[in-house]
Amino acid sequence: MRILTLILSAIVLVATGLPLINSGEWWIRIFDFPRIQIAILTLLALILVYFYVDFKWKYKLPLLVILVVSLVYQIQFVVVYTPLYTTQAKDSNKEREENSFILLVTNVRMENKDKESFYELVIKYDPDVLLINEPDQKWAVSIAKLDKNYPYSIKYPLDNTYGMMLLSKFPLKESAVNFLVRDDVPSIFTKITLPSGSIIDFYGVHPEPPKPGTDTYERDTELLIIGKEIRESKNPTVVAGDLNDVGWSGTSKLFRKYSELVDPREGRGLYNTYSVLLPLFRYPLDHIFYSKEFGLLTLEKLEDIGSDHYPILIGLNYEPDEDNTEGLEKTDAEEEAEVEEKIEEGKKEGADN
């Protein structure tokens, strides 16, 4: 038992230490995801070391202290997404129906054959705007029956799991499908005209995840390029999609600080959307970030539709004269330089690939 305990301790300490390295290598960044799972294993290792490792205390105590520090370090990432933490995104306290809208974001999973469940979900919740990740041509044909409900759309189905579609009840203008880093991974930009006539910027994104053979330079670059556009435009903005990143990762936090967007999950809950198939390994991968002009009406993780992701639904109220944020963090000069450096690195990686 002592040997197993020491092996477990070594594993959790390595898993805790690797993400401290400022690198986009997939085998480092993959440990950004399972903070909760690593914390649980660290707690287990801490208990086992106390009871089963019969070292002298001058050796045992430092190990216990290191494990405690590691446990606290892991917990501080996720405690932000519990009611123990203050909410950075405020609830809306205004009733302005002409400026409010419901957005549904869902990764349908390209191989998912249960297209009817998706259709029933859309009819049930009746969102005003619908962002769909991973549609291929078969999905596009099935989704076409929603056209009567959503007269405005941007459709770019692909058979590589990076297709994307945006359906809207509200007019869209200046719409574009962009390839910011790779020519086979699109993102969507458009301006949505709300019933009041107000116009907001919308970005739909789905960058590649870290996995063997795929580092995070390109994912990080895509997010930070969008962040730079948002920062320069200063327009009211919503960014949504399957970001293949967790809200507590360094890149995600840097992106939000640089673009001055908020994460409505903070202080409310994890709303883990992936993976439906692995209950013990679930993370918040599908995100909706937005600027200070929006007040939160509702935030929900919806039911299973046969995908490996749960859909997520948000209701927002556009309040142009309000600052609906509290404790909004902004980048300093060092972080701004880091953004520029990461963008250049990511562009270089993308060109090399």
b (16+ CB within 10 A) / e for 122-153: beeeebbbbbbbbbbeebbeebeebeeebebb
**What integer pLDDT is reported at residue 308 of this predicted model?**
96
DSSP label at 47? H
Q: Please identify which residue in the block is written with the tokens 């509702």.
A: 298
Q: Please identify which residue in the block is written with the tokens 């960014």.
A: 239
**What integer pLDDT is reported at residue 187 of this predicted model?**
97
Q: 51: helix, coil or strand? A: helix
- DSSP H helices in 79-204: 115-125, 137-143
Low-confidence residues in the chain, pLDDT < 50: none
Burial class (CB in 10 A: 0-12, 13-18, 19+), 175: middle
The enclosing H or E element of 36 equals: helix 35-52
Sign of CA dihedral 135, 136, 139, 145: positive
**What integer pLDDT is reported at residue 345 of this predicted model?**
75
What is the total residue count of the chain?
A: 353
Burial class (CB in 10 A: 0-12, 13-18, 19+), 264: buried
**What integer pLDDT is reported at residue 59 of this predicted model?**
81
